[in-house]
């Protein structure tokens, strides 16, 4: 079983997997408490139109995916903050538009694109050095943000009105957060694909929230659960020779279901004490 | 002193509140009364900088927007609309009020603890605020408002859901805090009876400022009708209360 850890592409996948686990653990709990869970779906689909645009132009899809994802994330944030359209409505409309735009752009480009399935459902064999550099860059940015701005983010998530009165630049912090979510989603899309990306950023945080109460414990447990799920998913997919993206999502969801059972049992014990 | 001139607050094309002119004297307890949807919360949100408005507001002679860039206002939002389920300790909540102060984390914590002590809530410092009772949460949010060290304390219907005894104790607490910190208190309330006993001035709002002698403790029937409609009558009575207990 351990021979898989000697394979170069598995080592690279495990490294990116660890990066994703940390990034999801630091960002995911804020997404959950800000009730923005649907944002991952919106932005991941936005990256697909970026990828398609890159294919059409014959350039690397990665920079295009970044531009489209960050652009869409900030646009969704802008529409919801200015109060013209609610966040879920703008995501609901934009994510299908982004998907339609992606398919349209791919149909315009000449030739057959076998790698489209990889973009949709993820392919750890297709992870390039550039993907790895991007992941490390995003990890650095998210860790820096967490170190410098997590206090402000906690205040905003708890009570945005008072945070504003107290002097927190809530608008700037919100858009920085949206940009970081978008960048993290691009990294995750490279790993598990457009369709499956959102669960990786949401599910570990949701599971941790069911198990522990303190915010710092939720963050640490989110990272641990994400890492365990990604590691198990990769091993499972390698042994069964199936796609790694769905395999990781199976484990992430399985952990979430277990966390719900844990909470049920805990609540039952408290009630019957 | 707060000076309001030609204030107009709009939601899209609808004018929710219009105040031609109003001065709010410093160091006093001002009550804002008026019906539901009359613009009390709108006025308060404009004062604390949460709603855009047309017109002029000055605080201590300084333009409102400039004032808010440098200073926080002690603010207690309407009960039930204040915060999310985010897991945060009472101490961290009070630390929010210290955000503008350039101080180390240790000093911030020490100061926050001092304000919790003022509200006799220091034993709950490490508790998650969402696990405390409504009354305890209210005191912690009050400690947060005081932690801003603002000379203005604005409370938006803080008595909602409180029984008369709890209301009376709350008023006593506000009076004590106002006197010891030398604050200007502005508080909106539905309870015209209680507020007339405790407030120095009464500001009547129903979409616009209803003319009323601010310092008069009792509203006339005509003023009452303008605020709440002609079907509401006045029955004059007195609250029996002492410092410790109230009926």
Rounded to an integer, what distance in angstroms lies between the CA atom of residue B157 and that of residue A260?
38
Range scoring the smallest mean pLDDT among A46-50, A121-125, A265-269: A121-125
pLDDT bin (cut points 50, 70, 90) of residue B37 is confident
Look at residue A59 and give its three-state secondary structure: coil
Chain-chain contact of A33 with B99 (C-beta, under 8 angstroms): no
Of residues A154, A166, A168, nearest to B88 (C-beta):
A154
Predicted local distance difference test score (pLDDT) of residue A233: 93
Question: Is 80 exceeded by the pLDDT of residue A27?
Answer: yes
Q: What are B123's two structure tokens?
A: 């034993």
For residue B42, what are the CA distances in angstroms to A158, B55, B142, B188, B207? 22, 14, 20, 11, 9
Contact assessment for residue A163 and residue A170, using Cβ atoms and an 8 Å cutoff: yes
Predicted local distance difference test score (pLDDT) of residue B134: 85
Predicted local distance difference test score (pLDDT) of residue B169: 85
Mean of the pLDDT values across residues B24-29?
92
Question: Is 60 exceeded by the pLDDT of residue A88?
Answer: yes
More confident residue, B224 or B176: B176
Rounded to an integer, what distance in angstroms lies between the CA atom of residue B108 and that of residue B88?
16
- A120 forms beta bridges with none
Contact assessment for residue A195 and residue A246, using Cβ atoms and an 8 Å cutoff: no
Look at residue B244 and give its three-state secondary structure: coil
More confident residue, A231 or B189: A231
Chain-chain contact of A213 with B97 (C-beta, under 8 angstroms): no
B-chain CB neighbours of A157 within 8 Å are 84, 86
Chain-chain contact of B83 with A164 (C-beta, under 8 angstroms): no
Rounded to an integer, what distance in angstroms lies between the CA atom of residue A160 and that of residue A75?
20
Rounded to an integer, what distance in angstroms lies between the CA atom of residue B92 and that of residue B71?
20
Question: Is 50 exceeded by the pLDDT of residue A236?
Answer: yes
* Residue A238, CA atoms < 13 Å, CB-side half-sphere: 20
B-chain CB neighbours of A154 within 8 Å are 86, 88, 92
Range scoring the smallest mean pLDDT among A64-68, A189-193, B192-196: B192-196
Contact assessment for residue B206 and residue B226, using Cβ atoms and an 8 Å cutoff: yes
Chain-chain contact of B85 with A161 (C-beta, under 8 angstroms): no
Task: Supply the mean pLDDT for chain A.
Answer: 90
Highest mean pLDDT among A78-92, B72-86, B97-111, B211-225: B97-111
Q: Can you say how many angstroms the Cα of residue A12 is from the centroid of all Cα atoms in its chain?
A: 18
Q: How many Cβ atoms from other residues are within 10 Å of residue A85's Cβ?
A: 16
Dump pLDDT digits (tens) for B73-105: 999 998 766 688 899 999 999 999 999 999 999
Rounded to an integer, what distance in angstroms lies between the CA atom of residue A226 and that of residue A228?
6
Mean of the pLDDT values across residues A218-234?
96
Predicted local distance difference test score (pLDDT) of residue B244: 43
Torsion angle defined by CA atoms of residues A58, A60, A65 and A68, in that order, rounded to the nearest 10 degrees? -50
Q: How would you write chain B as a 3-class SS string? A: CEEEEEEEEEECCEEEEEEEEEEECCCCEEEEECCCCCCHHHHHHHHHCCCCCEEEEEECCEEHHHHHHHCCCEEECCCCCCCCCCCCEHHHHHHHCCCCCCCCHHHHHHHHHHHHHHCCCHHHCCCEHHHCCHHHHHHHHHHHHHHCCCCEEEEECCCCCCCHHHHHHHHHHHHHHHHHHCCEEEEEECCHHHHHHHCCEEEEEECEECCCCCCCCCCCHHHHHHHHCCCCCCCCCCCCECCCCEC
Q: What are A243's two structure tokens?
A: 């796609």
B-chain CB neighbours of A164 within 8 Å are 49-50
C-alpha R_g of chain B: 18
Rounded to an integer, what distance in angstroms lies between the CA atom of residue A80 and that of residue A97?
18
Contact assessment for residue A220 and residue A97, using Cβ atoms and an 8 Å cutoff: no
Contact assessment for residue A125 and residue A9, using Cβ atoms and an 8 Å cutoff: yes
Range scoring the smallest mean pLDDT among A9-18, A28-37, A102-111, B70-79: A102-111
Share of chain B above pLDDT 90, in %: 54
Mean of the pLDDT values across residues A211-240?
94
Look at residue B68 and give its three-state secondary structure: helix
Predicted local distance difference test score (pLDDT) of residue B243: 46
Q: Which of B157, B208, B214, B223 is catalytic?
A: B157
Rounded to an integer, what distance in angstroms lies between the CA atom of residue B74 and that of residue B141?
10
Which of A33, A149, A158 to mutate: most B Cβ within 10 Å?
Answer: A158
pLDDT bin (cut points 50, 70, 90) of residue A225 is very high
Question: Is 50 exceeded by the pLDDT of residue B246?
Answer: no
Contact assessment for residue B178 and residue B74, using Cβ atoms and an 8 Å cutoff: no
Range scoring the smallest mean pLDDT among A99-108, A128-137, B225-234: B225-234
Dump pLDDT digits (tens) for A198-221: 899 999 999 999 999 999 999 999
Q: Which of A87, A53, A46, A52 is nearest to A197 (CA)?
A: A46
Q: What are B196's two structure tokens?
A: 């007339």
Q: Which residue of A has its CA nearest to B81?
A: A159
Residues contacting residue B239 through CB under 8 Å, at least 6 positions apart: B168, B193, B194, B197, B246, B247
Which of A34, A35, A159, A205 to mutate: most B Cβ within 10 Å?
Answer: A159
Q: Please state the pTM of the whole predicted model.
A: 0.88
Distance to chain B for A239, nearest Cα, Å: 40
Dump pLDDT digits (tens) for A243-262: 888 899 999 999 999 999 99
Largest CA distance in chain B: 57
Look at residue A110 and give its three-state secondary structure: coil
Instruction: Give backbone dihedrals phi and psi of B215, rounded to 5 degrees, phi first.
Output: -85, -10
Predicted local distance difference test score (pLDDT) of residue A87: 77
Dump pLDDT digits (tens) for B152-207: 999 998 887 777 888 888 888 898 999 999 999 999 987 777 777 788 888 888 88
Predicted local distance difference test score (pLDDT) of residue B222: 63
For chain B, strand residue ranges (E) read: 2-11, 14-24, 29-33, 54-59, 62-63, 74-76, 152-156, 184-189, 201-206, 208-209
Determine whether B223 is an active site residue: no
Distance to chain A for B98, nearest Cα, Å: 8
Which of A82, A155, A162 to mutate: most B Cβ within 10 Å?
Answer: A162
Tokens 């915010």, located at residue:
A215
Tokens 């015209």, located at residue:
B192
Range scoring the smallest mean pLDDT among A111-115, A132-136, A200-204, B180-184: A111-115
Q: Which of A183, A180, A157, A179 is nearest to A170 (CA)?
A: A157
Distance to chain B for A177, nearest Cα, Å: 17
Distance to chain A for B72, nearest Cα, Å: 5
Chain-chain contact of A164 with B75 (C-beta, under 8 angstroms): no
Q: For chains A and B, count residue pairs whose Cβ atoms are closer than 8 Å.
A: 61
Of residues A34, A162, A214, nearest to B96 (C-beta):
A162
Predicted local distance difference test score (pLDDT) of residue A116: 76
Q: Which residue of A has its CA nearest to B105?
A: A151
Measured CB to CB, residues of chain B less than 8 Å from chain A are 48-50, 68, 72-73, 75, 77, 82-88, 92-93, 96-97, 99-100, 128, 144, 148
Range scoring the smallest mean pLDDT among A108-117, A141-150, B200-209: A108-117
Of residues B48, B49, B82, nearest to A159 (C-beta):
B82
Predicted local distance difference test score (pLDDT) of residue B245: 43
Range scoring the smallest mean pLDDT among B29-43, B116-130, B160-174: B160-174
């Amino acid at each position: 079983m351990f021979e898989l850890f000697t394979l170069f592409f598995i080592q690279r996948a495990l490294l990116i997997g660890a990066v994703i686990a940390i990034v999801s653990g630091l960002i995911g709990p804020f997404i959950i408490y800000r009730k923005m869970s649907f944002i991952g779906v919106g932005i991941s689909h936005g990256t697909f139109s970026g990828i398609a645009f890159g294919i059409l132009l014959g350039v690397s899809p990665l920079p295009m995916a970044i531009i489209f994802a960050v652009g869409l994330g900030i646009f969704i944030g802008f529409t919801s903050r200015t109060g013209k359209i609610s966040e879920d409505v703008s995501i609901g409309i934009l994510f299908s538009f982004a998907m339609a735009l992606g398919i349209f752009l791919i149909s315009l480009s000449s030739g057959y694109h076998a790698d489209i399935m990889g973009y949709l459902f993820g392919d750890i064999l297709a992870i390039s050095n550039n993907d790895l550099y991007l992941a490390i860059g995003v990890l650095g940015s998210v860790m820096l943000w967490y170190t410098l701005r997590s206090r402000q983010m906690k205040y905003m998530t708890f009570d945005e009105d008072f945070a504003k009165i107290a002097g927190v630049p809530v608008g700037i912090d919100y858009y920085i957060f949206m940009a970081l979510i978008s960048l993290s989603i691009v990294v995750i899309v490279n790993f598990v694909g457009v369709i499956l990306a959102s669960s990786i950023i949401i599910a570990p945080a949701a599971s941790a929230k069911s198990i522990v109460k303190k915010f710092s414990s939720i963050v640490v447990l989110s990272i641990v659960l994400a890492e365990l799920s990604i590691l198990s998913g990769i091993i499972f997919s390698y042994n069964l020779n199936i796609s790694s993206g769905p395999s990781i999502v199976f484990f992430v969801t399985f952990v979430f279901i277990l966390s719900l059972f844990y909470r049920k049992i805990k609540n039952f014990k408290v009630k019957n004490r | 002193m707060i000076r309001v001139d030609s204030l107009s607050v709009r939601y899209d094309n609808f004018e929710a509140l219009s105040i031609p002119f109003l001065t709010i004297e410093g160091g006093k307890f001002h009550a804002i009364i008026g019906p539901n949807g009359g613009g009390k919360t709108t006025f308060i949100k404009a004062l604390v900088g949460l709603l855009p408005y047309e017109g002029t507001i000055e605080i201590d002679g300084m333009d409102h927007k400039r004032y808010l860039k440098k200073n926080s206002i002690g603010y207690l939002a309407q009960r039930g609309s204040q915060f999310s389920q985010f897991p945060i300790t009472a101490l961290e909540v009070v630390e929010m009020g210290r955000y503008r102060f350039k101080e180390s984390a240790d000093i911030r914590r020490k100061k926050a603890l001092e304000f919790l002590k003022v509200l006799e809530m220091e034993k709950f410092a490490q508790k998650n605020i969402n696990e405390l009772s409504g009354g305890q949460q209210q005191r912690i949010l009050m400690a947060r408002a005081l932690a801003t060290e603002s000379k203005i304390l604005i409370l938006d219907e803080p008595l909602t859901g409180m029984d008369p005894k709890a209301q009376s104790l709350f008023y006593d607490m506000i009076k004590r805090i106002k006197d010891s910190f030398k604050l200007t208190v502005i508080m909106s309330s539905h309870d015209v009876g209680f507020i007339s006993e405790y407030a120095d001035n009464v500001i009547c709002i129903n979409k616009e400022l209803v003319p009323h002698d601010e310092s008069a403790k009792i509203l006339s029937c005509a003023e009452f009708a303008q605020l709440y409609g002609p079907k509401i009558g006045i029955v004059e009575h007195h609250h029996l209360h002492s410092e410790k207990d109230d009926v």
